[in-house]
């Protein structure tokens, strides 16, 4: 899922590598690490709103469902 704020499609990896002056493999590494950090930050925030880890997973599944229905 890509969450975007605008009407334009997200840039391609090729466009980003040109813009940032890095290789595609470096960009892919950065994106992988960013996704992992985002996933953990999201779990941490959801964990603050529920009573146990099982509820965290349930809330995240519901969030994913809502976002994919948009």
49-58 b/e with 16+ CB inside 10 Å = b?
eeeeeeebee
- Residue recorded with tokens 């965290």: 56
Domain residue ranges of the chain, discontinuous segments joined by +: 13-68
Among the ranges given (8-12, 28-32, 35-39, 62-66), the one the predictor scored with the smallest mean pLDDT: 8-12
- Percent of the chain clearing pLDDT 90 (strictly above): 79
Quote the pLDDT of residue 49.
96
Residue 69 scores a pLDDT above 90: no
Query: Residue 19 in contact with residue 28, Cβ under 8 Å?
Result: no
Q: How far is residue 11 from each of residues 27, 40, 62, 69, measured CA to CA in Å?
A: 13, 25, 28, 22
Residue 4 scores a pLDDT above 70: no
């Amino acid at each position: 899922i890509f969450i975007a704020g605008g009407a334009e499609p997200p840039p391609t990896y090729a466009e980003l590598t040109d813009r940032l002056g890095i290789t595609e493999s470096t960009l892919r590494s950065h994106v992988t690490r960013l996704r992992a950090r985002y996933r953990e930050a999201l779990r941490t925030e959801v964990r603050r709103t529920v009573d146990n880890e099982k509820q965290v997973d349930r809330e995240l599944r519901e969030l994913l469902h809502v976002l994919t229905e948009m």
